[in-house]
Amino acid sequence: MTTYETIIGLEVHTELQTDSKIFCSCSTRFGQQPNTQCCPVCLGLPGALPVLNRQVAELALRLCLATDCSITPVTRFDRKNYFYPDLPKAYQISQLHEPIGRNGQLCLKDFPERVVRIHEIHMEEDAGKLTHDPWSDQSLVDYNRCGVPLLEIVSEPDLRSAEEALDYLATLRKLLMFLGVSDCRMEQGSLRADVNVSVRKTGTQALGTRTEMKNMNSFKAIGRAIIHESQRQIDLLNEGGMILQETRRWDENKEMSFAMRSKENAQDYRYFPDPDLPPVKLDKAWIDRVRQNMPERPEQKQSRYQHEWRLSAYEAEQLTDEPFLASLLEQTIACGANPADVSSWILGEWLQACRSGNCDASDLSVQPESLAKLLEMIRNNVITRTTARSVFTYMLDHQIDPESYVREHGLAMVNDLDDLKQMVASVLEASEQSVKDYLAGKEKAKTYLIGQVMRKSRGKANPAHVNKLVEELLEQHRQP
Amino acid sequence: MQLTELSAWQLGDLIRKKEIRALDAAEAVVAEIKTKNEKLNAFLSYDEAVIRSQAEGVQEKLDAGQVLSPLAGVPMAVKDNISTRLYPTTCASDMLQGYLPPYDATVIENLQQAGAVITGKTNMDEFAMGCSTETSFRGPALNPWNQGHTPGGSSGGSAAAVAAGLSWYALGSDTGGSIRQPSAYCNLTGLKPSYGLVSRYGLIAYASSLDQIGPMARSARDCAAVMDCITSQDSKDSTSSDHSTAFKASCYEATTGFNISLKGRKIALPEQALAQVDPAVRRAVSETAAVFKDLGADIVPFDLPYQDASVPVYYLIACAEASGNLARYDGVQYGRQPDNGHEMDLTAFYEHNRSAGFGKEVKRRLMLGTFVLSSGYYDAWYLKALKMRRMIIDSYNEMMRGIDAVLMPVTPSAAPPLYQHEDDPLARYISDTFTVDANLTGRPAIAFPCGINAGGLPVGAQLTGHLLADDILLGLVHAYQTQTSHHEKRPSSARKGEPA
Amino acid sequence: MSEAKNDELVSREVISRIAKLARLDLDDNEQNTYEHDLETILDHFKKINVYDTKQVEPAYHPHDYENKLREDDAKPSRPPQDWLALAKQVKDGCYMVPKAVE
Ligand SMILES: [Mg+2]
Ligand SMILES: [Zn+2]
């Protein structure tokens, strides 16, 4: 039987993290009432003119440099002409002839041998949002999103499987977030991909006819769609059929793709240079400045955490999963905390609190200085980790200084050996069976007894002392 | 003293010296508009109450001692493609009937700051596509010098209004000659400023890389005073020049502070252009050259570069840009919108709205523009035109070294009868041959009166200058106008109170 | 172009395709007129082909402005009614158009 190879190229659209839109001063905030973040420019009213947001060029440059693109010395905007109600000027300001960056690359994480070439990166404006009104069977248009800055990152057809495509997307997403280019909130549509899929007989060179699935905004759907689409094409070829170059729509519920009406396939966008926008010259000084202010990339952070702070590879990877965790780590260490302590607390208690609160890591309002103080109290034997946990839980809802809180609530660790000895003795007395079990060789019984002592002290007992005292007193029981 | 016969500058002087009130000027012009506009069709909209309340507002400021500008309180008219909150802005198109812009163009803000009283919006060719106002949805304006003739276009309503005494000055817009040609046909002085000197924000675009707003008035001095009010570096227009603010002062000075000396000035006269025009035009332009020579200027020969390419290059670029700029008129957000839109499918809805809303000439240019950008034709037509545009720009830069201005006709003849070339678009396009270069190169050009032909119609001459040297052009024409009286002639219909 | 015969610059097919692209619904009469007009106009315009432009950079603008940028400052917007009042068909704060989503 013939075997086939799947060829995938991705066009990723990402919304930039700017305060204002690409060509006007309207806010980019998500989730506002319809048409409340609009002006003559983004509504395309007659006579209104675009002026480029400097930050858009800066962020685009950042991504281009981070993906080793060659920077176009004089970059220009073009108009892409087509009629659709989400496009109030009936053209999208985009870049065709002189995109800001070309010929870049991105290395995958789990497929180290696969270097995906980036064909180009260009700047453009987002369109408005259409919804269907079932009552009137008409469409409703909200232009709030219209003019939000986008970068389109076009890969070469270098990906060979759904796994590779998802790796590429995850790697790119992480990079975009760490560079401060985009928050990549997929549920808000700030990262979307057009997926191009074709298949060819294994061992052949020529590319097959490709189909395109537009505007996909979930990793899961993209993975499923690639698998289905490549299988559909292979089945079709095996039956002696032909692949049509077309745009298909992936239906997530039905787990199937459908060809769009052919009208949407044959387009003639009549691109031409936008006469309202002068070119942008990206001189060496500007590029150098962006390069110097380039935020650290996730993999750079990862290796620095391992070498500078002696964190394990696993920890370093977890902590660079998203920019918030990395910055929490770095800021807390900057406040004087021990790196290993911070790492273990973030990956332990912090993330646990998010899981139980069902929120994002960045939603917890504990400040790095407070966390550092808390961790230092553990390290200096001022409080036990158990106490620290309950203080931390309290800190999630209250603005407190952990040190004064511990002082005021008498939560400091009990270190007095006499007090502790008494406490241990009374626990052993009350737990005859466990003592017997221990003496009979059941090590577990000791752990239980230590737990009982800690409980009795409401978590405040110095655990090292307790451990030692429990052992000592148990041994005394052994003697007749 | 008849107020309407004064120049804008003189009227402003009287108001500033409190010899008359702003309201007196407003009443005078309202009376004229009411008697004459019905016939001339120069205004598409005006509003007596709005005119009076503006005049009163300006007077209050003047009485409070605020210094506004030399033109404070002088009533003026605005071409209907410049967005105003005071009046509907329709581009003389069915497509924009009833459209009241929710914002003011930058030039309007500047004018209001300067104390202008805006009387109304003037007739034009639909979306500025034409040279006669014949393509206006509301019918053509008439030439006050002879009502069987066109006032020119596309700023024909502005020209008719100023020439007939319905306004002291007006704003026009010039994409390929639309300020200068009607100025020539109506005996006015009209400046197409350097590209970028006057903000385009709020000017409803025809062809963005060519459009420029400018003054149409009764003298170079009035034009200079208007330029002083409207010029600004506008952060809302990316094609606005950084030099605009610095330029303001010199513009006005050119015609007030000193009388420019023409000693050592070089004015070029392209013989080949004179050979192509009506004898009356040829004679008038030659005489103009003689006046400049008497004033001390050197007259030197000149060859218009790529002259046969100018009109094609201009129309290919203008129509291509227009096909993008006018795509937004689809009946969704504003202007003409159907009652039964919900019954149509999306494509039918667009096609219906656009076919019904646009006139014949607009559709013709949209077809041409769409064609030259479409797949398979872009390189051969549009890109070719852009390359030719570079060659034309470079040639002018090369050939105008050491030359202050090029003198030539504005048009091959005086104003033609109405509807002369109605069914011959090419003939109409070709008549733009002397005006389009200034737009293609971004250079300033000024039209000014230089005689009356045997039929009693005005003839104009044109000076093209250096980028951002609009003040030199104004100074040259001002010098000319101190020596001649062509610009002071008024059509008999302009007499006060007489119906047009 | 394959669509146009020999030295014909525009054909009826081209005209009808262009009209579609421009979203203009032209009747037969109009199509004839514009076919004739464009043919005449372009036939005159083709004389620019006598000039050799191989080595020439296209001029997108009348002069060489560049880097006209604004700072990333968001400003509050005006009430939506300022724009929505211009539209005939509005619902729930949105513009209403013929069905465009499936
Ligand atoms: Mg795109
Ligand atoms: Zn906006």
Work out the pLDDT band at C6, boundaries 50, 70, 90: low
B177: three-class secondary structure by DSSP: coil
Closest-CA residue of B relative to C79 is B102
Task: Confirm or reject contact between C23 and chain B (CB < 8 A).
Answer: yes
User: To probe the interface with C, which of A56, A138, A250, A286 has the most C CB atoms within 10 Å?
Assistant: A138
* Residue A91 and residue A276 in contact, taking contact as beta carbons nearer than 8 Å: no
Q: Give residue A143 CA to ligand 2 midpoint distance, Å.
A: 9
CA distance, residue C45 to nearest chain A CA (Å): 20
Task: Confirm or reject contact between A473 and chain C (CB < 8 A).
Answer: no
Quick one: residue B255, left, alpha or beta (phi over 0 = left, psi -120 to 50 = alpha)?
A: alpha
Distance, in Å, from the CA atom of C29 to the CA atom of C12, rounded to the nearest integer, reads 12
Is residue B397, in this structure, part of any structural domain at all?
A: no
Is residue B306, in this structure, part of any structural domain at all?
A: no
CB-based contact B238 A51, cutoff 8 Å = yes
pLDDT, position C2: 42
User: Positive or negative, the Cα torsion across B338, B344, B349, B355?
Assistant: negative
Q: How many CA atoms lie within 13 A of A391 on its CB side?
A: 30
Residues of C in contact with A138 (CB under 8 A): 89, 91, 96-99
CA distance, residue C23 to nearest chain B CA (Å): 5
Chains near A, with 3+ CB pairs < 8 A? B, C
Residues of A in contact with C99 (CB under 8 A): 132, 137-139
Closest to B179 in 3D by CA, of B145, B206, B146: B206
CA distance, residue B429 to nearest chain C CA (Å): 9
Q: Which residue has the tokens 């262009």?
A: C18
Strand B458-464 to B405-409 pairing = antiparallel
Is residue B437, in this structure, part of any structural domain at all?
A: no
**Residue from the list B99, B327, B375 with its beta carbon closest to the beta carbon of A90:** B327
CB-based contact A139 C65, cutoff 8 Å = no
Structure tokens at B407: 């003198």
Residues of A in contact with B333 (CB under 8 A): 43-45, 88
**Residue from the list C24, C63, C86 with its beta carbon closest to the beta carbon of B442:** C63
Catalytic residue among B36, B69, B79, B250: B79
Work out the pLDDT band at B260, boundaries 50, 70, 90: low
Is residue B267, in this structure, part of any structural domain at all?
A: no
B vs C: CB pairs below 8 A? 166
CB-based contact A47 B374, cutoff 8 Å = no
Distance, in Å, from the CA atom of B459 to the CA atom of B188, rounded to the nearest integer, reads 10
Q: What is the pLDDT of residues C66-90, one digit of tens each?
A: 889 999 999 999 999 999 999 999 9
How far is CA B138 from each of CA A20, B122, B123, B163, B175, rounded to the nearest angstrom? 41, 11, 8, 20, 21
Q: At what angle do helices B106-113 and B220-230 cross, to 10 degrees?
A: 110
Task: Confirm or reject contact between C53 and chain B (CB < 8 A).
Answer: yes
Structure tokens at A20: 């204002």
C90: three-class secondary structure by DSSP: strand
Strand A52-53 to A191-201 pairing = unpaired
Which amino acid makes up residue A222? I
Distance, in Å, from the CA atom of B322 to the CA atom of B382, rounded to the nearest integer, reads 13
Is residue B364, in this structure, part of any structural domain at all?
A: no
User: Edge-to-edge strand order for the sheet containing C90-91?
Assistant: A129-133, A138-142, C94-98, C90-91
Distance, in Å, from the CA atom of B186 to the CA atom of A441, rounded to the nearest integer, reads 117
Q: Give residue B232 CA to ligand 1 midpoint distance, Å.
A: 35
> Residues with Cβ within 5 Å of ion ligand 1?
A 152
Closest-CA residue of B relative to A93 is B324
For residue B61, which phi and psi values (nearest 5 degrees)?
A: -65, -45
CB-based contact B441 C62, cutoff 8 Å = yes
Residues of B in contact with C38 (CB under 8 A): 364, 367-368, 371
pLDDT of B244 > 80? The answer is no
CB-based contact B99 A46, cutoff 8 Å = yes
Task: Spell out the SS3 assignment of chain A.
Answer: CCCEEEEEEEEEEEECCCCECCCCCCECCCCCCCCCCCCCCCCCCCCCCCCEEHHHHHHHHHHHHHCCCEECCEECCEEEECCCCCCCCCEEEECCCCCCEEEEEEECCCCCCCEEEEEEEEEEECCCEEEEECCCCEEEEECCCCCCEEEEEEECCCECCHHHHHHHHHHHHHHHHHCCCCCCCHHHCCEEEEEEEEEEECCCCCCCCCEEEEEECCHHHHHHHHHHHHHHHHHHHHCCCCCCCCEEEEECCCCEEEECCHHHCCCCCCCEECCCCCCEECCHHHHHHHHHCCCCCHHHHHHHHHHHHCCCHHHHHHHCCCHHHHHHHHHHHHCCCCHHHHHHHHHHHHHHHHHHHCCCHHHCCCCHHHHHHHHHHHHCCCCCHHHHHHHHHHHHHCCCCHHHHHHHCCCCCECCHHHHHHHHHHHHHHCHHHHHHHHCCCCHHHHHHHHHHHHHCCCCECHHHHHHHHHHHHHHHHCC
Name A192's bridge partners.
Answer: A13
pLDDT, position B39: 96
Q: Would you call B263 a catalytic residue per the annotation?
A: no
A vs B: CB pairs below 8 A? 99
Which residue segments constitute the domains of chain C, with CATH numbers given?
6-48 (1.10.20.60)
Is residue B237, in this structure, part of any structural domain at all?
A: yes
Q: Give residue A97 CA to ligand 1 midpoint distance, Å.
A: 13
pLDDT in tens, chain A (480 residues): 689 999 999 999 999 999 999 999 999 999 999 999 999 999 999 999 999 999 999 999 999 999 999 999 999 999 999 999 999 999 999 999 999 999 999 999 999 889 999 999 999 999 999 999 999 999 999 999 999 999 999 999 999 999 999 999 999 999 999 999 999 988 888 999 999 999 999 999 999 999 999 989 899 999 999 999 999 999 999 999 999 988 898 988 888 888 886 554 468 999 999 999 999 999 999 999 999 999 999 999 999 999 999 999 999 999 999 999 999 999 999 999 999 999 999 999 999 999 999 999 999 989 999 999 999 999 988 888 888 999 999 999 999 999 999 888 878 877 788 888 988 888 988 888 888 888 888 888 889 999 988 888 888 888 888 888 888 888 888 765
Q: What is the pLDDT of residues A411-420, one digit of tens each?
A: 887 778 888 8
Count how many domains chain B has: 1
Distance, in Å, from the CA atom of B123 to the CA atom of B172, rounded to the nearest integer, reads 10
Q: What is the pLDDT of residues B352-405, one digit of tens each?
A: 999 999 999 999 999 999 999 999 999 999 999 999 999 999 999 999 999 999
CB-based contact A51 C71, cutoff 8 Å = no
Name B82's bridge partners.
Answer: B203
CATH number, domain containing residue B72: 3.90.1300.10
CB-based contact A46 B105, cutoff 8 Å = no
pLDDT, position A411: 82
CB-based contact A38 C83, cutoff 8 Å = yes
A87: three-class secondary structure by DSSP: coil
pLDDT of B437 > 90? The answer is yes
Q: What is the pLDDT of residues B324-362, one digit of tens each?
A: 999 999 999 999 998 877 789 999 999 999 999 999 999
Report ipTM for this prediction.
0.96
Closest-CA residue of C relative to B361 is C34
pLDDT, position C1: 40
pLDDT, position B498: 66
Helix ranges (H only) for B114-179 are 156-163
Q: What is the pLDDT of residues B196-225, one digit of tens each?
A: 999 999 999 999 999 999 999 999 999 999
Gyration radius of chain B over CA positions: 21
Distance, in Å, from the CA atom of B243 to the CA atom of B197, rounded to the nearest integer, reads 7
CB-based contact C75 A55, cutoff 8 Å = no
8-state DSSP, B404: S
How far is CA B153 from each of CA B211, B429, C54, rounded to the nearest angstrom? 14, 12, 36
Q: Which of B 219-248 lie inside 8 A of A, CB atoms?
A: 235-239
User: Edge-to-edge strand order for the sheet containing A191-201?
Assistant: A70-71, A101-107, A115-125, A149-155, A4-15, A191-201, A211-216, A247-251, A256-259
Chains near C, with 3+ CB pairs < 8 A? A, B
Catalytic residue among B69, B154, B158, B232: B154
Top-tier CATH class for A417-478:
mainly alpha
pLDDT of B256 > 70? The answer is no
Gyration radius of chain C over CA positions: 23
Is residue B99, in this structure, part of any structural domain at all?
A: yes
Q: Give residue C33 CA to ligand 2 midpoint distance, Å.
A: 40
Q: Give residue A334 CA to ligand 2 midpoint distance, Å.
A: 40
pTM for the whole structure: 0.92
**Residue from the list B196, B235, B384 with its beta carbon closest to the beta carbon of C53:** B384
CA distance, residue A315 to nearest chain C CA (Å): 37
Task: Confirm or reject contact between C94 and chain B (CB < 8 A).
Answer: no
Is residue B54, in this structure, part of any structural domain at all?
A: yes
CA distance, residue A288 to nearest chain C CA (Å): 17
Domain ranges of chain A: 4-285, 296-408, 417-478
Stronger pLDDT, C64 or A225, i.e. the higher one? A225
CB-based contact B83 A270, cutoff 8 Å = no
Residues of C in contact with B396 (CB under 8 A): none
Distance, in Å, from the CA atom of B158 to the CA atom of B169, rounded to the nearest integer, reads 8
Contacts of A274 (CB under 8 A, 6+ apart): A50, A76, A77, A78, A79, A93
Closest to B192 in 3D by CA, of B146, B223, B152: B223
Q: Which residue has the tokens 């421009």?
A: C22
User: Positive or negative, the Cα torsion across A109, A111, A112, A114?
Assistant: negative
Q: What is the pLDDT of residues B297-327, one digit of tens each?
A: 999 999 999 999 999 999 999 999 999 999 9
Which amino acid makes up residue A235? D
Distance, in Å, from the CA atom of A247 to the CA atom of A211, rounded to the nearest integer, reads 6
Helix ranges (H only) for A275-367 are 284-292, 298-309, 313-319, 323-334, 339-345, 351-357
Structure tokens at A335: 């406040």
Closest-CA residue of A relative to C93 is A34
pLDDT of B500 > 70? The answer is no
Range of the domain at B23: 7-261+473-488
Task: Confirm or reject contact between A279 and chain B (CB < 8 A).
Answer: no
Residues of A in contact with B208 (CB under 8 A): 275-276
pLDDT, position A6: 96
Q: Would you call B79 a catalytic residue per the annotation?
A: yes
Distance, in Å, from the CA atom of B169 to the CA atom of B173, rounded to the nearest integer, reads 13
Structure tokens at A108: 């995958």
A248: three-class secondary structure by DSSP: strand
User: Positive or negative, the Cα torsion across A241, A245, A249, A253?
Assistant: positive
Q: Give residue B103 CA to ligand 2 midpoint distance, Å.
A: 13
Q: Which of A 385-414 lie inside 8 A of C, CB atoms?
A: none
